């Protein structure tokens, strides 16, 4: 990154730390794990936004990426990443690849990332972008994220980057005992909560609400459970 981008990134990281501190009464986190902050430092966010919006790539707010989708606010990306408690040997499923930014952050922290995007064009673009940038421990598919990715289940963590009206049972089924699911729940343009679900060793689900959020809706249906509905491997 150039000098200006480095300055912008430093400001962004400071803003994230300030917002984490300001929301500690909701999240229970006065600071995020330093590994997570370092991953944000290493991933060039400007590579994941449209060319015409690159001047705002390091502002702490979401940006449109086309097809009615957005790249999430960096604070939210950092918080959701921290909430799954990423470990080096983890295998993580992401629902909602978008531009690939969240997957790139995860790839810096875990062994393997599988990411599903329902918009075929975005899936193809993100897969090519991630390969070009050297993220070879990420696999992207176009498909219905509500169905998960059963071939590689169970997962140490599942992270959903779009709001569901209810939590898809398939994702809970694909979560490993001891694993964590982070998902925004609620209708578009209405109250949404960022939820954390942890599966205990005996399979029981413990759920907690973290804070109010605003995400684009999770599309697709639960009815089609055919894994062949996923396509476009990159």
Q: CATH code at 177?
A: 3.40.50.150
- Can you tell me the distance from the alpha carbon of 100 to that of 43, in angstroms, rounded to the nearest whole number? 11
Within a domain: residue 10? yes
Check whether 10 has a pLDDT greater than 70: yes
Count up the domains in the chain and report the number: 1
Structural domain harbouring 187: 3-229
Which of the residues are catalytic?
A: 72
> With 90 as the cut, is the pLDDT of residue 146 above it?
yes
Average pLDDT, integer, range 181-207: 92
With beta carbons less than 8 A apart as the criterion, state whether 194 and 214 touch: no
34 within domain boundaries: yes
Instruction: Report the first-to-last Cα separation within the chain, whole angstroms.
Output: 26
Q: Is the pLDDT of residue 3 over 80?
A: no
pLDDT given for residue 6 in this prediction: 82
The Cα–Cα gap between 112 and 115 comes to 10
What are the tens digits of pLDDT across the range 37-74? 999 999 999 999 999 999 999 999 999 999 999 999 99
22-25 contacts, C-beta under 8 A, 24 or more apart? 23/211
234 lies in some domain: no
Within-domain flag for 145: yes
């Amino acid at each position: 990154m150039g000098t200006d981008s480095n300055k912008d990134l430093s400001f962004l990281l400071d803003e994230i730390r300030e917002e984490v501190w300001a929301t500690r009464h909701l999240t229970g986190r006065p600071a995020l794990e330093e590994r997570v902050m370092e991953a944000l430092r290493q991933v060039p966010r400007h590579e994941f936004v449209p060319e015409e919006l690159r001047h705002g790539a390091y502002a702490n707010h979401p940006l449109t990426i086309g097809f009615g989708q957005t790249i999430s606010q960096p604070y939210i990306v950092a918080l959701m990443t921290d909430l799954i408690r990423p470990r080096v040997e983890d295998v993580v499923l992401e629902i909602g690849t978008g531009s690939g930014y969240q997957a790139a952050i995860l790839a810096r922290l875990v062994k393997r990332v599988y990411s599903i995007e329902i918009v075929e064009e975005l899936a193809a673009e993100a897969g090519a972008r991630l390969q070009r940038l050297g993220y070879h421990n990420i696999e992207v598919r176009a498909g219905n994220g509500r169905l998960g990715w059963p071939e590689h289940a169970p997962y140490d963590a599942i992270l959903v980057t779009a709001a569901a009206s209810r939590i898809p049972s398939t994702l809970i089924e694909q979560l490993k005992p001891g694993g964590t699911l982070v998902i925004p729940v609620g209708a578009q343009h209405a109250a949404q909560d960022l939820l954390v679900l942890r599966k205990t060793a005996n399979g029981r689900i413990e759920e907690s609400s973290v804070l109010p959020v605003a995400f684009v809706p999770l599309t697709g249906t639960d009815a089609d459970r055919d894994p062949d509905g996923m396509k476009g491997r990159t």
